[in-house]
Chains A and B, each alone.
Chain A
């Protein structure tokens, strides 16, 4: 058994995500690659939450449509997910709440015996699961000791009582991999930003991006970060621009609705050539939409957001390893070219947990940004015309540098101009940077490849569908092609990746095939599109079936 799925379900507030994290660590220690999906409605208490932990030999980033183990913290879990059960699915349940379903653990009685608080009930379920799956007590104990810092002994005592009451139903073998760090997508964005030199993070909470804010706020002392949660997203971007003007590497994070407010400041960043990184995590829209569910419908919005024309970089990593790498690249590019750089993710990646092998980053972590330095020649001109269009940076406080940035059309010294020639010259200066970014991106792995390299049919996707598309491509003998850099569009790398392909199928989690529309402008045309837009990510079997329908 080398591809195992475990579903944990209960009410919101039952600690489903924490229980999932422990089970994920158990499989990590057993030598598996991990993907964990967390599904919850937009409320605080009540409602149904569930997580699916998938453990496999290969790198994964998607769920199956069936589960091997179910940890049912309530009755609803068994009823709601019955469609995912196979005859050999093992159910471990809280016997106090779930009658006649699999192996019941007398959670209440165990807690009473150990004089433990209700919150430790999940430890009993996890203990029962470990034994049912034939996992050594030693493994469980070591995971509890590493990942439950509070009340470790009592949690262990509770788990042990359940462990001793249950028989092994289905043994999980050891996998072959050494354990890897498990990271959520939001944490990986934060981690990559720090790697890229982040000094200040400014964000207003908005699901599913808030995890970046929470992670960086929690870590700020260790990394010397300033983390600010201001009055709204308008203040968010303008504060971040203030930080960058004063020389601090800053980033903002939000989702589509917050980004609507950010567009005003984005255009300012473009005009004033102020470096800025924006992490945007998509959810189902339009408007408030489905706050806690996924989508890929913001690509065209982010591509075109802001009045006027100015260069930008958009990267869409497909998993946590890529988002560490590309978040650091985004910071580097923002500062080297004085542009806004976007990290575009979605709920699936943001709130999913993945095995994260940073040792295998393409070419190692990106080198720190090399700034265009002012040579102390006076007068300092913030927008000095250079051959590359990138002007030397000085910051307020530097001796005799009068640093003037401006949202109006401006002269090289930053002073307002309404002259037509100046307008043209400054527009060309900014657009020339785009040419350079396009060129530089050719040295980066701007297109991800998967599946079978010389296959004649290609699945083209972007972002978090990487996992599911790779898996389906491998199974069906298709080529997997995925632009990671979305702007400037990596035309050459895409065409190289698609050489010899006779049929192109775009897979996207939106209703209008946004990437297919963008690619068409470069002569890359979709023969078919497979779209899903109910807020839920594709499962392996669903996409497999839909691709088979198309290619048969």
Chain B
């Protein structure tokens, strides 16, 4: 234990009632637990995008890369490839990774890079004061769609299952013990871990009264069963009225991108010899 204070002195500017508080608190608890279990906090890196969620990079006193809107995942991929001993966690928003950076999300799942992506999914743009996102329901009235959206949301869990993610789960910012369980499992999972967190936006899309009576824990579900995981993921399509399962939908151990990309370590002297022999081969 280093006695490191995990929260910085920076003034917190999330709105009262914001679901991001729960996510930050849960992450802090998990990091404290991991440290007690022998993990060095020095080996943890947080990458955030841009949006309300991303302020967590200022608030958590750990290594962080406060990146661009939609660009958490490629940064995290580079960090993990550069130093596979690091535990790399992305905090990203739904506008961030489902809109601006969707390509990176799909490719990270496809590669099974050993990083954890936590989506703070409030289903609305908060920091830009209320526009629809890829998971807002059809007809959502935001500042850019005052008459309601003309497009369906997509189902991120289904998308991730189709893309090759090896850990897929869903949490809810008002159910802290379950949230802690899925975030911790995701972080400890070797491979690409995806957690969609239904996060309450108190200012622009306060959905607690909708979610709370509909959510239920996935009990007795076998997370190694891909077909059932897909079925469970389709139960609620982020649009129609349905019960909403929380917990781990799918988990599978597969070789990771970072393991597969590992090459030999070459000393400076060997590099110099290789340069000389390369030159000789061109004569």
Contact = CB atoms under 8 A, between A and B. Distances in A.
Interface of A: 25, 28, 146, 179-183, 191, 194-195, 199-200, 202, 219-226, 228, 230-232, 234-236, 238-248, 250, 264-265, 268, 272, 356, 358, 395-408, 410, 414-416
Nearest to A353: B282
Interface in B53-93: 55, 57-58, 61-68, 71, 74-83, 85-86
B66 A264 contact: no
Given A200-B81, A397-B83, A224 B271 contact: yes
Given A181-B279, A415-B8, A242 B78 contact: yes
B147 interface: no
A265 B68 contact: yes
Given A181-B282, A246-B79, A403-B63, A224 B71 contact: no
Contacts of B275: 191, 194-195
Interface residues of B, number: 51
A223 B271 contact: yes
A399 to B, nearest CB: 6
Contacts of A265: 68, 71
A235 B74 contact: yes
B264 A224 contact: yes
Contacts of A395: 83
B274 A223 contact: yes
6 contacts: A235-B107, A242-B76, A246-B82, A396-B45, A406-B57, A416-B66
A532 to B, nearest CB: 30
Contacts of B82: 199-200, 226, 242-243, 245-248, 250
Contacts of B264: 221, 224
B79 A224 contact: no
Interface string B141-174: 0000000000000000000000000000000000
A111 B278 CA distance: 33
A400 B2 contact: yes
Interface in B166-212: none
A399 B42 contact: yes
B79 A222 contact: no
Contacts of A402: 61-63
B263 A238 contact: no
Contacts of B62: 402
Interface in B117-142: none
Contacts of A405: 64-66
A31 to B, nearest CB: 12
Contacts of B65: 242, 245, 272, 404-405
A400 B274 contact: no
Q: Which of B10, B79, B104 has the most CB of A within 10 A?
A: B79
B78 A232 contact: no
A407 B283 contact: no
B183 to A, nearest CB: 20
A358 B66 contact: no
A interface secondary structure, majority: mixed
B78 A180 contact: no
Contacts of B66: 404-408, 410, 414, 416
B50 interface: yes
B278 A219 contact: yes
Contact of A245 (B75, B263, B274): B75
B219 interface: no
B263 A221 contact: yes
B266 interface: yes
A416 B58 contact: yes
Given A230-B107, A243-B81, A396-B43, A225 B278 contact: no
B78 A264 contact: no
B1 interface: no
Contacts of B68: 238, 264-265, 268, 407
Given A220-B263, A415-B58, A416-B58, A239 B77 contact: yes
A234 B74 CA distance: 8
Nearest to A232: B103
B67 A243 contact: no
B81 A28 contact: no
Nearest to A358: B279
A234 B64 contact: no
Contacts of B263: 220-221, 224-226
A36 B267 CA distance: 34
Nearest to B81: A226
Contact of A235 (B44, B63, B103): B103
**Which 8 pairs from chain A and chain B are nearest by CB?**
A242-B78, A224-B266, A246-B82, A238-B74, A239-B78, A181-B282, A396-B63, A235-B74
A406 B43 CA distance: 19
B85 A397 contact: yes
A395 B65 CA distance: 11
A231 B104 CA distance: 7
A139 to B, nearest CB: 13
Nearest to A249: B82
B155 to A, nearest CB: 21
Contacts of A244: 78
B15 to A, nearest CB: 17
Given A222-B278, A396-B42, A415-B8, 9 more contacts: A223-B266, A224-B263, A243-B79, A396-B79, A396-B86, A397-B83, A401-B42, A402-B63, A404-B57
Q: Which of A181, A222, A242, A397 has the most CB of B within 10 A?
A: A242
Contacts of B55: 416
B74 A414 contact: no
Interface string B87-114: 0000000000000000110010000000
Contact of A240 (B2, B78, B266): B78
Contacts of B103: 231-232, 234-235
